[in-house]
Amino acid sequence: MTSASAALQRRAWRLPMTTYAAVSNLKDALDRLAGGCATAGFSTDAAQPSINWVFLGPPGVGKGTYASRVAKAFGVPHIATGDLIRAEIKSGSSLGEQMKAVVNQGKLLPCAMVDQVLHDRLARGRQEGERGFILDGYPRTAAQAEQLLKTADIGLVLNLSLREEVLVQKCMGRRLCRHCGKNYNVADIHLPAGADGQPEIVMPPLSAPPECEPHLETRADDREEVIRHRLEVYKQESKPVEEAFRRAGLVVDFELVAGIPETLPRLMPLLESYIGRHANERA
């Protein structure tokens, strides 16, 4: 057994994991980012187990919640393009003003705008010594996926799914604390098993603590008509993204049927088995 795999076996995911801090160096290529869909470049130090992962899933699936918890457990940053974009909008910059109009209609932003904020975030992280990442909300189009595959040594693409009627309820139940930035959900979901073999779904609310209660807000794009539009956009855009990653042998499908406390203990051991794997090692 290698020392890396022995180290992996010793780890328990519930602990704070500076030892998981692993992973790959963000390369100078980030600074060469140009317009269009050319995006950040990443590389993996072969001597270290790597976590260069992408989380895919429709709006409302809980991608951000899972990505942030997994990232924290494994000691890598959770980088969500949606969060970066909302921060840019909040800053009141002229780029943010241009983004706001598009985002509030539930449409995808032009690649150049997304790339700019993603690049800035990665460059800042690199300066601060971040290694590896879990990407959430990127890539969203085939062009972004192809570009990412060219420039990054992606080890895993986790494809989260959830029944559509639950997705709408979850989006409408989303609440963001404008004070600390944490996400909560007031939706209380219990769907019986479907006659067609669909599993029962039980997802209790993810309640905010009392200190966040006065600061909770609903995202401007979490209105029902906008959510339905975003789901349609996702369906159209996700197929080629998924296909690009499937061709690369990177996709692991994971259907959600329960809340976080029941799901994380199922998900974490699965993810642990992918630490350090690269596309070219997959069957």
Q: Which residues are catalytic?
A: 63, 140, 174, 219, 230
Which H helix or E strand runs over 252?
Answer: strand 251-255
Decide: is 143 part of the binding site for ligand AMP (CB under 6 A): no
CB nearer ligand AMP, residue 4 or residue 34 = 34
**Smallest gap, in angstroms, from Cβ of residue 243 to ligand AMP?**
17
**Smallest gap, in angstroms, from Cβ of residue 78 to ligand AMP?**
12
In eight-state DSSP terms, residue 265 is H
Please choose, out of 105-113, 152-160, 186-194, 250-258, the segment that lies near ligand AMP by the rule CB under 6 A: 105-113
Residue 35, burial from CB neighbour count under 10 angstroms (0-12, 13-18, 19+) = exposed
The footprint of ligand AMP on residues 118-137 (CB under 6 A) is 137
Identity of the residue numbered 218: T
Q: Rounded to an integer, what distance in angstroms lies between the CA atom of residue 12 and that of residue 75?
A: 13
The pair phi, psi for residue 66, each rounded to 5°, is -65, -45
**Smallest gap, in angstroms, from Cβ of residue 183 to ligand AMP?**
10
CB nearer ligand AMP, residue 8 or residue 84 = 84
Closest residue to ligand AMP, Cβ-based? 82
Q: Which residue in the set 8, 61, 103, 212 belongs to the binding site for ligand AMP (CB under 6 A)?
A: 103
Compute CA distances 170 → 62, 200, 206, 231, whole Å. Answer: 8, 16, 10, 12
Q: Rounded to an integer, what distance in angstroms lies between the CA atom of residue 188 and that of residue 9?
A: 37
Decide: is 149 part of the binding site for ligand AMP (CB under 6 A): no
Strand-pair partners of 258: 202
Q: Rounded to an integer, what distance in angstroms lies between the CA atom of residue 40 and that of residue 139?
A: 11
Query: Which pair of structure tokens corresponds to residue 206?
Result: 């993810």
Decide: is 62 part of the binding site for ligand AMP (CB under 6 A): no
Compute CA distances 112 → 85, 142, 234, whole Å. Answer: 12, 15, 19
Q: Which residue in the set 75, 82, 125, 259 belongs to the binding site for ligand AMP (CB under 6 A)?
A: 82
Decide: is 20 part of the binding site for ligand AMP (CB under 6 A): no
Q: Which residue in the set 109, 123, 202, 268 belongs to the binding site for ligand AMP (CB under 6 A)?
A: 109
Decide: is 81 part of the binding site for ligand AMP (CB under 6 A): yes
Please choose, out of 102-110, 127-135, 174-182, 273-281, the segment that lies near ligand AMP by the rule CB under 6 A: 102-110
Decide: is 227 part of the binding site for ligand AMP (CB under 6 A): no
Cβ within 8 Å of residue 177, ≥6 positions away: 183, 184, 208, 212, 215, 216, 217
Q: How many residues bind ligand AMP (CB under 6 A)?
A: 17
Query: Which pair of structure tokens corresponds to residue 259?
Result: 């809340």
Q: Would you tell me which residues interact with ligand AMP (CB under 6 A)?
A: 59, 81-82, 85, 102-103, 106-109, 114, 137-138, 140, 144, 221, 230
